[in-house]
Amino acid sequence: MSTQEMKQAVGNAAAKLVEKGMVVGLGTGSTASYFIAALIKRYQEENLSIHAVASSKHSFDLAHQGGIPLLDIDALTSIDLTVDGADEIDPSKQMIKGGGGALLREKIVAHMSHEMVVIVDETKLVPALGKSLLPVEILPFAHTATRHHIEKLGYRGSWRQTKKGDTYLTDNGNYIFDIHFSHLLDNPRNDEKAISSIPGVVETGFFFDLAGRVIVGFADGQIIIKK
């Protein structure tokens, strides 16, 4: 199976977990988009009565085009089930997310959810976090100073840019500073604490203790659901 096929397979598997009457949180990214497509199919073919909230404008648009009724998140205090992808996930289900830039809203949606189902292909499994970049959402106000303080703690990274070379802006109008680590992290919770303590840091891409079931797709076609 190709990576895209694995992503589609886990997206399809997650869509089967959605039950009638649920408020569903929609993640962001290519894997979450496969989930949204599969959910739209169920919604249309089975007349599944559900409502959804989206973690990004992109996911909102996908669901909206498919006819899924979307709710204003400000009218809710909880969500039944959220399905989202991840950039990295370790054996204890701790994650790094935000490759798609939606980390802040994704974390809020995940935190509001009774369960966050994570859908990944096997390339996202890591022995410890820190293999790829850690996205950090930063307020534009005084962002040079915020970066300086992050670097003073010993972290290195770069501002995310669009394909055209402009500064990338999140749905919240903030910047993303992508930190790269020189080795896998021994204690990512310490890194999270240190980075988050800097004023101007809005959110980091560390997602601790949020994952419920994890659906993993393997190249040989196997799909495993980790509880």
Residues marked as catalytic: 106
Site for ligand A5P in 22-41 (CB under 6 A): 27-32
Q: Quick one: which segment of 45-53, 91-99, 147-155, 165-173 binds ligand A5P (CB under 6 A)?
A: 91-99
Q: Map tokens 């498919």 to a residue.
A: 66
Residue 216 C-beta: closest distance to ligand A5P, Å:
13
Q: What is the rounded CA–CA span in Å between residue 143 and residue 159? A: 10
| CA 45 vs CA 54, 64, 117: distances in Å | 21, 16, 23
Q: Map tokens 């979450």 to a residue.
A: 32
Q: Which residues pair with 176 in a beta bridge?
A: 137
Supply 49's token pair. 């009565």
Site for ligand A5P in 115-154 (CB under 6 A): none
Of residues 11 and 200, the one with the C-beta less far from ligand A5P: 11
Q: Are 36 and 55 in contact (CB under 8 A)?
A: no
| CA 163 vs CA 58, 94, 194: distances in Å | 17, 29, 30
Interface residue with ligand A5P, options 15, 87, 116, 203 (CB under 6 A): 87
Residue 86 C-beta: closest distance to ligand A5P, Å:
6
Identify the CA nearest to 123 among candidates 98, 87, 99, 97.
87
Interface residue with ligand A5P, options 23, 102, 104, 138 (CB under 6 A): 102
Q: Draw the binding track, 173-202, toward ligand A5P (x: CB under 6 A; -: no contact).
A: ------------------------------
Residue 87 C-beta: closest distance to ligand A5P, Å:
5
Of residues 124 and 147, the one with the C-beta less far from ligand A5P: 124
Q: Tell me the site size for ligand A5P, rule CB under 6 A.
A: 18
Of residues 48 and 85, the one with the C-beta less far from ligand A5P: 85
Of residues 18 and 96, the one with the C-beta less far from ligand A5P: 96
Q: Are 113 and 82 in contact (CB under 8 A)?
A: yes
Three-class secondary structure assignment of 189-213? HHHHHHHHCCCCEEEECEECCCEEE
Residues forming the site for ligand A5P (CB under 6 A)? 27-32, 84-87, 97-103, 106
